[in-house]
Chain A
Amino acid sequence: MSKSQDLVTQVLEIVGDRAEAGVYDRTGTSALTRFANSFIHQNVSDDVADVHLTISLGGKVASGSTTSVSPEGLGSLVERTITSASDQSTDETFPGFGGPVDSPKVDLFDEATAAADPAARAEVVKTFVDAGKGLLAAGMCETMAFHDAYANTSGRRIHGRSTKAILDGIHQTSTTAGSGHSAGRGLGDIAAQSAGEQASARARMGEQPFDTKPGQYEVVLAPEAMATIAEFLSAYGFNGKAYNEGQSFVNLGESRFDESIQLFDDIFESRAMGMPFDAEGTPRARLDLIVDGSTPSLVHDRRSGLVAESQTTGHAALAGESWSGEPATRNLFIGDGELSEDALIAQVERGIYVATFNYCRVLDPKTVVVTGLTRNGTFMIENGVITGAVTNLRFTQSFIDALGQGNVGGVGRNGRFANAESEPGVVHAPSAHLRSWNFTGGAAG
């Protein structure tokens, strides 16, 4: 039995028969090595223990959490959560706790990554830094190893473990920057040399950028930018709570997107990372969100599923995994296409290549009109080849329309876990050629 399984069992024993309860624990290590100006300047390790408890007293519901996993700390968590619940009125939309389930047959854990020491991360950083001789490097290398467990008073017991490793960095000249990225289940999956070389090449290509006039352009978006689009569509559209509230653009079954676009959430995909169950202990399963451009499904936790007269899809979010605890995807894949990135660029007569977006914010949730900027690699494409760097551009663009029918010129075959707007390692995306993109401002405003 893992420490995590032991902790959730302890908490249920303290609750006893006083209440219905569900408890989730995450125990493990999160370590992150940051570098800037080509040296390591911040290097941290967190000994994670985080217990989340939900109590129901006949439908009077409260939740709480603690990082104190001593008997006293767990006892305090239980007592204050029961006290909070006892003061409340009955929550008629509380979906209750789920019954027994089988544990998913998936183990996305790499022993070497769990045992990785700070020196191992420092060596990854050194490789990235050294790939950009004469440039200034900045970024981070992160490793995580967690054992999670969930148990409730309805007999559900589920546990799992996962590891994740991420390298994300830039190389900089005196005037420009270019980014490189790599993520995988284990530190051994990190391609530090090629990520460093990509960042270096983008930075050097970006020198002497010129201002280009804002307006409608064809674009080739690299995986980071496509991952951000997928993340926003998921959070504002496929989010079952937003749908229930009438805030989503989704009409189930409607063909809203180009038929070349496939979007799905799948812990069983061979490259997936993370836990095979959600914050309510529901096993995850593949969920298709866009199939040949149509939208057959939504993402639900138990509450949003109940409100929608549907059921949970295993997407209840842990604290910090989504805004205000709304249901969220954690293994989102944009289906790969058949073209190389060079082939996508070759299709463009005059357009812009975008490595990453920066600081994207939604202007209207229902239309997913988003403003943001380009960053770490913005290049002019003319007659099918990159001809030079342009200064960063601001866009104001509906992400629905961006992937709309007829606007997708092609999808790349270069999918990988990319660094989306909110976090790296949760969206797997390829590059894509989009026929129209609305740039609304340049470096000068």
Chain B
Amino acid sequence: MFDRAEVAVQAAVDSGASYSDARAMITRSETIRVQNQKLDTLDVNESVGVGVRALIGSSWGFASTGNLSNAGLAACGREATSIAKASAIVAGPTLDFGSVPVVEASWETPHLENPFDVSTTEKVDMLVDVTRTMQSVAGIDIANSELGGFDTNKWFVSSHGHRIHQHIVEAGGYYSALAIGEHESQIRSYPQSFGHYETGGYEAIRKWNYPEHALRIAEEAVALLTAPIMEERETSLVLESSQVALQIHESVGHAIELDRILGWEAAFAGTSHLQLDKLGTHRYGSELMNITADATIPGALGSFGYDDEGSPAQCVDIVKDGIWVGVLSGRDSAAVAGLPSGGMVRGDGYSRIPMVRMTNVGLLPGEGTLDDIIADTDDGVYMGTNRSWSIDDKRLNFQFGCEIGYEVKNGSLGRMVKNPTYTGITPHFWGSLDRLAGESEWTHWGIPNCGKGQPVQVGHTGHSASPARFTNVRVGVKG
């Protein structure tokens, strides 16, 4: 496949590109869904093709094709150059693309058991089993379960001389129990509501022990129907770690994307409340807040060997002792900002242009446990598992809903409450972080459905987090 990618790159250069790179990719994906003990979806997909970038002056072009003949690939390379020439009709300022070391390398996700080598029957049986357990609880109307796997081979070639092969393996899933009342529905999910994925083999699914939690999840969903609604007030908020992970994703991860800060996503995903002239001085949160973007964490969903510009995976400080110190970047965005490239550019398959993407943007752990935090809270609320998420185009004004809540009184969990929500403004909220659990409860959560770009690309991102407490938060927002 290196040779096929090179045909496309050479054609782009021969037709006038000053720089070109290409990714030849073969991606297999599998989705298995079971609803109420019946197989709902068994879908195995394969995507095979080449995507080519071409640069002329300051203007980019990108073309992709599934036609892997030499003629098809050469035409694709020439098309990328032609598009770059058209981009120059509305050209931007001169682009210094920056330089990265030229690499010839290969890299593979550490894994024990490729998810495609595990029999479909075993996977379906496990999913049927957990839905059966959930349905054994009176009041459960719909029990869903889902597993997914990705196996990606990627060959990257550039006109600067890169030749990098990567084999990336990902696996994950989730299940949920839905109880439907007269005018509402309540849901509980495990491990998290939109699926938890990791880089690795099927062992990444086995370790979550899906069957063990199914009964509890179902009982909680039914109990929520008759639980009181969370009271609207300002109070201390304790979040379980998967909700902290989503909070990081939405209010830190996207805000630190350099393409957003530079305005490149202004019309769609949005911009950022962060301004580059405040890098190194802006207070993002309390001194407990230490965030890194680390693409080297084994097993985390945002880990890889090299990004889609041939830059090696890196660990970059983003927030240190509460101060904003870093961004997510690629070669061109970093060059525009006068910063070193962070090696954080990836594309969703061969047919999508690589763009700045979160790697593993995580909150480093503190001390103690969730139990310690609860014991230290006189009055507050605890929320777990995301149910809704919304944030503005500058990643400043957010409102999240969770599946389940509990009152916290005098150091103990109290009544279960339903429809828990909280809202806030990013720097105020992170500034109120006053307790953070330690490494024993630090989890590398993986989000498999991060949308960005046009045409929309779905990214896989990682977020390490432990339970945390925030003070003076507005909770219980109602419609």
Contact mask for chain B residues 345-388; partner A; CB cutoff 8 A; 1 contact, 0 none = 00000011101000000000000000000000000000000011
Closest to B36 in A: A245
| Residue B277, interface by CB 8 Å | no
Chain A residues near B396 (CB-CB < 8 A): 443
Min distance, Cβ B89 to any Cβ of chain A, angstroms: 4
A87 touching B264 in the complex, CB below 8 Å, given contacts A40-B87, A360-B390, A394-B423: no
**Stretch in contact with the other chain, from A13-21, A56-64, A256-264:** A56-64
B305: interface (CB < 8 Å) = no
A25 to B183 CA separation, bound complex (whole angstroms): 41
Q: How far is the CA of A396 from the CA of B419 in the complex (A)?
A: 13
What are the residues of chain A within 8 A of B64 when measuring CB–CB? 44-47
Interface string of B83-97 (1 = CB under 8 A from A): 111111111110000
Say whether A445 contacts B474, CB under 8 Å.
Answer: yes
Is B61 on the interface with A (CB-CB < 8 A)? yes
Dominant secondary structure at the A interface: strand
Cβ–Cβ contact A44 & B83, under 8 A: yes
A142 contacts B by Cβ under 8 Å: yes
- Given A366-B180, A441-B423, check contact A32 B455 (CB 8 Å): yes
Cross-chain contact B401 with A363 (CB below 8 angstroms): yes
B99 at the interface (CB under 8 A from A): no
Q: Are B92 and A37 in touch, CB under 8 angstroms? A: yes
- Indicate the size class of the contact surface on chain A: 35 or more
A177 B266 Cβ-Cβ under 8 A: yes
Q: Would you call B440 an interface residue if the criterion is a C-beta within 8 Å of the partner chain's C-beta atoms?
A: no
Contacts of B399 in A (CB 8 A): 371, 394, 396, 440-441
Known interface pairs A369-B479, A445-B423; A47-B47 also in contact (CB < 8 Å) = no
Q: Which residue of the partner chain B has the closest CB to A49?
A: B66
Q: Are B388 and A371 in contact (CB under 8 A)?
A: yes
Chain A residues with CB under 8 A of B351: 46, 48, 67
Q: Is the CB of B281 closer than 8 A to any CB of chain A?
A: no
Asked if A375 CB lies within 8 Å of chain B CBs, one says yes
- Which chain A positions have C-beta within 8 A of B454? 32, 34, 42, 140, 142
**Residues of A close to B84: CB separation below 8 A:** 43
Note all chain B residues with C-beta closer than 8 A to A313: none
Q: Smallest CB-CB separation from B185: which chain A residue?
A: A366
**Does B388 lie within 8 Å of A363, measured CB to CB?**
yes
Cα distance, A368 to B84, chains bound together (Å): 44
A122–B175 Cα gap in the complex (Å)? 46
Measured CA separation A76–B351 after assembly (Å): 21
Q: Complex: how many Å from CA A62 to CA B184? A: 33
Interfacial chain B residues near A140, Cβ < 8 Å: 267-268, 454
Q: List 6 A-B contacts (CB under 8 A).
A: A49-B67, A64-B44, A117-B86, A172-B263, A247-B142, A373-B397
* Interface of A toward B, CB cutoff 8 Å: 30, 32-49, 61-70, 73, 76-77, 80-81, 84-85, 87-89, 91-93, 117-119, 121-123, 125-126, 129, 136, 138-140, 142, 168-170, 172, 177, 179, 245-247, 324-325, 358-367, 369-373, 375, 392, 394, 396-398, 423, 438, 440-441, 443-445
Closest 7 CB pairs of A and B: A39-B92, A118-B86, A138-B267, A122-B89, A369-B479, A138-B266, A396-B479
